[in-house]
């Protein structure tokens, strides 16, 4: 264990950014093919990547250049921001947008590509395993291959897969594999599923501004309320964007879940071993991607605990140097700050500690 040389860690902790997006060129091309040739009926996907992958707007052009690079340009940006290590995840929707044959192949190729890119800069990058839940058994195999053969440190799932959520029993082998390998699942947003996207898209609210959080927050709640953590009590779930606002709702979630269980209003809302807030504090971790704002971060810190909140930048979508400085200045103790930037990520993702 030696200190990195690229930036003096004068601050006393490594800055690990835990939700950083990339996409190999062949994945971007495959997304574009899906849109141009109308191979999928997913309006929020078309809204998202009709912009980021096809628009000539400066923001879109910049984002796609940066998504493709897991090398020198990205490292220069990390150095400028003081980011020591990125945890890389394939950008939404990843392999999940393809069919059950193409998706697993894209996942394997993307994971091989990622592992090769990481191998060139092992001090600066680690990565998460992309999977295609639409082929659950192949997804399980890929989780195992990612963890055991490729050295990847978790699993990235970009919310729904063709409008289906992971609370459906057919997906539970994915949770079983992740728990068995002690590898976290990062549940990242994608455009809202077809059956909820329309009123968001028509108002321009389907993306990161609001719709991402709606879909992913609901998805996490579906996982919790379906009893996934009772069945897989050691499973670790990571949510970005300060937990997609679920921490803010904790009291109401507990109150209304208990009232709904007592009333027997829905077959799907059944007694659980713990309260929703307990699962949020014991199985869920949240990162600060896109939420570099002291009030929301410290709120999560307070209601979930100092060991549950991890730094993230959301590169390249939110590459803002001042936000790193703001995060350095969060009103935490030195030990809490080190946990926030470094220790929690090392523990959750099973990284080799440095420093």
Catalytic amino acids? 314
Decide: is 353 part of the binding site for its own copies (CB under 8 A): no
Q: What is the rounded CA–CA span in Å between residue 73 and residue 278?
A: 41
Give alpha helix (H) positions in the chain.
25-36, 43-52, 58-68, 72-81, 102-120, 136-148, 172-180, 194-202, 211-225, 228-231, 241-244, 246-263, 276-282, 294-304, 321-328, 334-338, 344-349
Residue among 165, 77, 86, 158 at smallest CA distance from 121: 86
Decide: is 59 part of the binding site for its own copies (CB under 8 A): yes
Choice between 287 and 342, CB closer to its own copies: 287
The contact pattern for its own copies, residues 154-173, with x = CB under 8 A and - = no contact, is ---------x-x-x------
Which residues have a Cβ under 8 Å from the Cβ of 76 and sit 6 or more positions away?
none
Decide: is 249 part of the binding site for its own copies (CB under 8 A): yes
Closest distance between its own copies and the C-beta of residue 337, in Å? Answer: 20
Distances (CA, A) of 12 to 206, 219, 336, 341: 39, 37, 12, 10
Choice between 73 and 209, CB closer to its own copies: 209
Closest distance between its own copies and the C-beta of residue 353, in Å? Answer: 31
Decide: is 266 part of the binding site for its own copies (CB under 8 A): yes
State which of positions 273-312 bind its own copies (CB under 8 A). Answer: 290-293, 295-296, 299, 302-303
Which residues have a Cβ under 8 Å from the Cβ of 49 and sit 6 or more positions away?
31, 32, 35
Decide: is 248 part of the binding site for its own copies (CB under 8 A): yes
Closest distance between its own copies and the C-beta of residue 217, in Å? Answer: 7
Q: What is the rounded CA–CA span in Å between residue 334 and residue 353?
A: 17
Decide: is 241 part of the binding site for its own copies (CB under 8 A): yes
> Read out DSSP for 48-95?
HHHHHTT--SHHHHHHHHHHH--SHHHHHHHHHHT--EEEEEEPTTGG
Choice between 20 and 84, CB closer to its own copies: 20
Q: What is the rounded CA–CA span in Å between residue 121 and residue 132?
A: 26
- The residue range among 32-40, 54-62, 97-105, 115-123 that interacts with its own copies, by the rule CB under 8 A, is 54-62
Structure tokens at 269: 């809302």
Considering only 86, 91, 96, 193, the residue that binds its own copies (CB under 8 A) is: 193
Token pair 């994915």 is found at: 174
The contact pattern for its own copies, residues 197-236, with x = CB under 8 A and - = no contact, is xxxx-xxxx-xxxx--xx--xx--xx--xx----------
Choice between 118 and 214, CB closer to its own copies: 214
Which residues have a Cβ under 8 Å from the Cβ of 72 and sit 6 or more positions away?
none
Closest distance between its own copies and the C-beta of residue 181, in Å? Answer: 27
Residue among 13, 144, 157 at smallest CA distance from 85: 13
- The residue range among 142-150, 227-235, 255-263, 338-346 that interacts with its own copies, by the rule CB under 8 A, is 255-263
Residues that bind its own copies (CB under 8 A): 51, 55, 57-60, 163, 165, 167, 192-193, 195-200, 202-205, 207-210, 213-214, 217-218, 221-222, 225-226, 241-242, 245, 247-253, 255-257, 259-260, 262-269, 290-293, 295-296, 299, 302-303, 318
């Amino acid at each position: 264990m030696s200190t990195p040389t690229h930036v003096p860690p004068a601050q006393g902790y490594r800055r690990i950014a835990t939700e950083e997006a990339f996409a190999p060129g062949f994945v971007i091309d495959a997304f574009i093919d899906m849109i141009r040739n109308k191979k999928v009926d997913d309006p929020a996907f078309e809204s998202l990547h009709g912009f980021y992958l096809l628009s000539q707007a400066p923001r879109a052009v910049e984002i796609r250049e940066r998504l493709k690079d897991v090398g020198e340009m990205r490292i220069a940006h990390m150095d400028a921001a003081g980011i020591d290590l990125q945890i890389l995840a394939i950008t939404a929707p990843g392999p999940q947008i393809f069919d059950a044959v193409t998706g697993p192949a894209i996942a394997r190729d993307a994971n091989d590509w990622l592992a090769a890119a990481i191998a060139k800069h092992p001090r600066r990058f680690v990565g998460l395993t992309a999977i295609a839940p639409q082929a659950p058994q192949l997804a399980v195999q890929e989780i195992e291959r990612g963890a055991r053969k490729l050295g990847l440190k978790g699993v990235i799932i970009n919310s729904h897969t063709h409008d289906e959520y992971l609370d459906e029993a057919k997906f539970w082998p994915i949770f079983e594999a992740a728990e068995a390998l002690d590898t976290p699942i990062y549940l990242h947003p994608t455009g809202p599923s077809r059956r909820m996207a329309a009123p968001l898209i028509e108002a321009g609210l389907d993306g990161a501004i609001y719709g991402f959080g709606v879909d992913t927050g609901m998805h996490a709640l579906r996982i919790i309320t379906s009893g996934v953590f009772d069945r897989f009590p050691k499973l670790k779930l990571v949510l970005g964007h300060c937990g997609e606002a679920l921490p803010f709702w904790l009291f109401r979630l507990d109150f209304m879940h208990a009232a709904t269980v007592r009333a027997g209003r829905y077959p799907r809302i059944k007694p659980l071993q713990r309260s929703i807030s307990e699962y949020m504090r014991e199985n869920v971790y949240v990162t600060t991607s896109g939420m570099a704002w002291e009030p929301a971060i410290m709120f999560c810190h307070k209601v979930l605990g100092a060991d549950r909140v991890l730094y993230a930048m959301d590169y390249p979508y939110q590459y803002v140097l001042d936000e790193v400085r703001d995060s350095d200045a969060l009103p935490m103790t030195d030990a809490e700050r080190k946990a926030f930037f470094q220790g929690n990520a090392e523990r959750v993702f099973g990284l080799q500690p440095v420093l």
